[in-house]
A and B are shown apart, each in its own frame.
Chain A
Amino acid sequence: QQQVKQSPQSLIVQKGGISIINCAYENTAFDYFPWYQQFPGKGPALLIAIRPDVSEKKEGRFTISFNKSAKQFSLHIMDSQPGDSATYFCAATHPRNQFYFGTGTSLTVIP
């Protein structure tokens, strides 16, 4: 059973556009929701994370929006750049537990 569902599987965005990736979860015990960015041949790198006591967190061009009642969270990449082209994974966890990952979104930003 997929604990975290991620969409879309792939995304193509023009340079300067907004990239939006969505995730949904079922387990209300989850209390930490990170996003990871992975380039080919590299390990996933922590990008930004949120806890459910806030509805939004912004770091530079990256924003997480969190909807606790809908059990959904999303990553928004503003002013997308070709260097943002990578695979993005959402995840969820709760204390003393593994991380449950989404299936990943391959983002391509066209110059």
Chain B
Amino acid sequence: GAGVSQSPSNKVTEKGKDVELRCDPISGHTALYWYRQSLGQGLEFLIYFQGNSAPDKSGLPSDRFSAERTGGSVSTLTIQRTQQEDSAVYLCASSHGGGTEAFFGQGTRLTVV
């Protein structure tokens, strides 16, 4: 498809386990964003990649969270030693450049039990 693809769509994990969430952006989009949305809440910024520039990691809530973007395309968000408060929907978006139309994926619903 032509849209932003996220996998898995749902993930249930035990407290203390590590998880990896994947985002395939729209082809050609240089900017990639990760946001977190808790149930019924707004969008919390996590991290922003723009081309080859150093990512803006200012939204990562703790050092348990990290993200990388390989080859300027696919991105992986890793949460180490998951906690129950990490349960949320993790949303990825991409755009041609920062400050232009951004398109979201369907999200990964993470449940930590």
Contact = CB atoms under 8 A, between A and B. Distances in A.
B42 A44 contact: no
B42 A43 contact: no
A100 B99 CA distance: 11
B103 A89 contact: no
A62 to B, nearest CB: 15
A32 B99 CA distance: 6
Contacts of A99: 33, 45, 93, 102
A32 B101 CA distance: 9
Contact of A44 (B43, B48, B56): B43
Interface of A: 31-32, 34, 36, 42-46, 49, 89, 93-104
Interface in B82-113: 91, 93, 97-107
Nearest to A103: B42
A89 B42 contact: yes
A98 B97 contact: no
A46 B91 contact: no
Given A97-B48, A98-B48, A104-B42, A45 B98 contact: no
Given A43-B91, A44-B43, A103-B42, A96 B97 contact: yes
B53 A96 contact: yes
